[in-house]
Structure formats: structure tokens, C-alpha cells
A and B are shown apart, each in its own frame.
Chain A
Amino acid sequence: DIVMTQTPLSSPVTLGQPASITCKSSQSLVHSDGNTYLSWLQQRPGQPPRLLIYKVSNRFSGVPDRFSGSGSGTDFTLKISRVEAEDVGLYYCMQVTQFPFTFGQGTKLEIK
């Protein structure tokens, strides 16, 4: 199975400041079709996960442009340009290149 490792596991951030989460996979996420199936999810307290970013850098419908994704191969990053109060929650990277699909451990974003 592909192991996804996120850092940090906890990220206290000041409102209006940037935040960054990294995700490393134990093997390349490049699919045989040439796509890299790395996604980022947000889970607000008491809510189900929701998709933010897919295929490394594509924002899902309705996701604010302060969220951006980058990376390639085995190393990926989620950036929030200016953190807002509604961004508090857990963030997960996930790979859907190979089954079983796997998730990172989750990063808790909180306001200082």
C-alpha cells in the first residue's frame, strides 16, 4: 500500500497569515495514464470531508482561490494564502492512483 505522510500534524496560524501542509507518498503517484491522482480534503469539525484540490493543483468547484496545490511525483504541498476563521479543521491528502486508496494522517489547522 502507498503510505502518505503529512507534516506538520498540527498547525497554529494567525488569521490572515499563510499556512502550508506537505504530503509525501512512499512511491510515485504518477498513474500509467500520465495523471497524478493526489487530492486534498478539508474536514471541518463535525462535518464530512469535502474535496478542495484534485490532480495536485486543480481547485474543486466553489473552493476559494486562497487554496492552492502543487507538487509532483512523491512530494506535494497545500497552501492557504491567507487563513480565515472558516478554514479551521483537519486537512488530509489522499492518493487515488492505486487501490487501496490511502490518506495522510491529517493536519489540524487551528487559529493562534
Chain B
Amino acid sequence: EVQLVESGGGSVQPGGSLRLSCAGSGFTVSTDYMSWVRQAPGKGLEWVSLGHTNGNTYYADSVKGRFTSSRDSAKNMLFLHVNSLRVEDTAVYFCARGRTGDLYWGQGTLVTVSS
């Protein structure tokens, strides 16, 4: 059974940093499409990053240069390093596996950016 469990969210001041984690089970994180998607409170979904099966990672313009996604194949985990946080980055961050008929979502982790 495919499962994804996020952790690492919390409250941080503007300009701060966090590392979000996503533990995968029932599949291999290092070889699948792996994404981060966020949802601001009461708002819709926004794709943040995609770890492609070709090894490349793509980022939304809104986070490019500030967020970095990485994978740890030994731990079967996905990470999102979020730096230079802004108030508008406040959201629940979901990790997702797959792209089309294999798309699964974690429960999400809340990041709150506030002074």
C-alpha cells in the first residue's frame, strides 16, 4: 500500500527556514515522480516542485531560488528545504507521488510564516 507521511512544518518568522520531510512506503521515492503541492488557508492548490523521473527537478516561479527539493534513496524520503520564507508561503504542504494514474497524496504539514 502506498503511503506518504509529511513532517517538519511549524511556525517561523519571515526570512526563516524549515526542512519539510515526506516518508514514503509501498513504492520507491527515488525513481518515481515526486512533488510538493501547497494550499494556503482557504485557498486552492498550487504546484511547488516536481522531481521528474529523468532526475531533474522543476520549480514554480513563486519559489524558484528559495526552495530546494531533494531525495534520500536510503531512507526512501523526499525533502523540501524552504528558505527566505515569506508570509505568503503560509500553507499546508503536501507531498505527492506519481503524475497521472499513480497519483497519491500525503496528509500535509502546516507551515505558518508570521512575525
| Chain B binds chain A | yes
Please give the residue numbers on chain A whose beta carbons come within 8 Å of chain B beta carbons, in ascending order: 35, 37, 39, 41, 48-51, 54-55, 58, 60, 92, 94, 96, 99-106
Asked if A39 and B106 sit within 8 Å, CB to CB, the answer is no
Q: A48-B94, A101-B50 are in contact. Are A96 and B108 (CB under 8 A)?
A: no
Which of B22-30, B40-48, B71-79, B81-89 contacts the other chain?
B40-48
Interface size on B, residues (CB 8 A): 19
Closest-CB distance, B103 to chain A (whole angstroms): 5
Q: Which residues of B contact A102 (CB under 8 A)?
A: 47
- Interchain CB contact (< 8 A) of B100 among A39, A49, A50: A39
Bound-state CA distance A19–B45 (Å) is 22
Q: Which residues of B are at the interface with A, using a C-beta cutoff of 8 A?
A: 35, 44-47, 50, 58, 60-61, 94, 99-101, 103-108
B contact residues around A51 at 8 Å (CB):
101, 103-105
Please name all residues of chain A whose beta carbon is closer than 8 Å to the beta carbon of B94 when the two chains form the complex: 48-49
Complex A-B: 21 CB contacts under 8 Å: A35-B100, A37-B99, A39-B100, A48-B106, A49-B45, A51-B101, A51-B104, A51-B105, A54-B100, A54-B101, A54-B103, A55-B101, A58-B101, A60-B103, A96-B99, A96-B100, A99-B47, A99-B50, A100-B47, A102-B47, A104-B44
A105 to B58, CA, bound (A): 22
Q: When the two chains form their complex, are residues B58 and A60 in contact, meaning their CB atoms are under 8 A apart?
A: no
Best-buried of B60, B106, B107 by chain A (most CB within 10 Å) = B60
Q: Decide: A50 near B45, CB < 8 A? Known: A39-B100, A96-B100, A100-B58.
A: no
Q: How far is the CB of A109 from chain B (nearest CB, A)?
A: 15
List chain B residues, Cβ under 8 A from A55: 100-101
User: Quick one: which of B46, B47, B58 has the most chain A CB within 10 A?
Assistant: B47
